[in-house]
Amino acid sequence: MMQTELPALFARMTGDEKHEWAAASTLDVLWVLYDRVLNVAPDRVADPDRDRFLLSKGHGPMAYYAVLAAKGFLDPSTLDTWTSWDSPLGQHPDRLLVPGVEISSGSLGHGLPLAVGTALGLRIQGSPARTFVLVGDGELDEGSNHEAIALAGRFGIGTLTAVVIDNSSASHGWPGGIESRFTVEGWDALVVDGRDHDALYEAFTAPHDMPRVVVAQIRKDV
């Protein structure tokens, strides 16, 4: 399935218009990750050496579900059931209900600490797998993220990449730039256009020894 089919998949899920912008902001990042970067596949969801993608910002998962459907993790017809009693698809994802979903999320500020633990666990076990986690710029208000940012830097977890969707949602902004909150803890940081697929791909795949943050800027007016 091609990226051009995502809008139609996306449109099959209605009723969470409040988070449509949140979902739309993540669509390009998710597509690039699942189409070109992540070493994952529907028939390898339990492979211990698969790459891990953790959607920390569980709000507005329509884009996530659309990409998972496009990549064969979900039957597209499942999208029509979303949020119903029998559906595996809720307005926050549940890892027990959807193959390929690595964490159940929704409450903000949980994915990054979980990602640090996941990356550490894989390193301890000698796995080559990489860990990617997607957070929002508003979500970074949660202090738990900053505990995790500090730890990942001190532990030098080079297999960890945090993607910050910067759609200017943080109540009080990030003076000095979001990336500065990471670099002060030793992270490698890149700021890219969150709609530019080649730039995202480069940022996700260029070698790095320390944990990397990719700040994916999304503007509402373009």
The piece of 18-26, 79-87, 108-116, 167-175 that touches other proteins (CB under 8 A) is 108-116
Among residues 15, 11, 10, 114, the alpha carbon closest in space to that of 56 is found at 114
Considering CB under 8 A, how many residues would be counted as binding other proteins?
Answer: 31
For other proteins, the binding residue among 114, 163, 192, 200 (CB under 8 A) is 114
For other proteins, the binding residue among 37, 53, 65, 104 (CB under 8 A) is 104
33 vs 115 by CB, closer to other proteins: 115
Give the number of other CB atoms < 10 A from CB of residue 136: 23
DSSP 34: I
H helices within 1-51, ranges in order? 6-11, 20-32
Tokens at 136, concatenated: 């929002």
Smallest distance, other proteins to C-beta of residue 47, A: 12
Dihedral-angle region of residue 161 (phi above 0 means left; psi in -120 to 50 means alpha; beta otherwise): beta
Smallest distance, other proteins to C-beta of residue 107, A: 6
CA torsion 28-32-33-36 (nearest 10°) is 170
- Give yes or no for residue 91 binding other proteins (CB under 8 A): no
37 vs 200: CA distance, rounded Å: 10
Q: For the residues of 148-185, what is the DSSP string, one character each?
A: HHHHHHHHT-TTEEEEEEESS--TT--TT-HHHHHHTT
- Give yes or no for residue 128 binding other proteins (CB under 8 A): no
The piece of 25-33, 146-154, 169-177, 198-206 that touches other proteins (CB under 8 A) is 146-154
Give me the 181-200 binding string for other proteins, x by CB under 8 A, dash otherwise: --------------------
Give me the 44-83 binding string for other proteins, x by CB under 8 A, dash otherwise: ----x---x-------------------------------
180 vs 187: CA distance, rounded Å: 9
106 vs 177 by CB, closer to other proteins: 106
Binding footprint of other proteins on the chain (CB under 8 A): 48, 52, 95-96, 102-104, 107, 109-110, 112-125, 127, 143-144, 147-148, 150-151
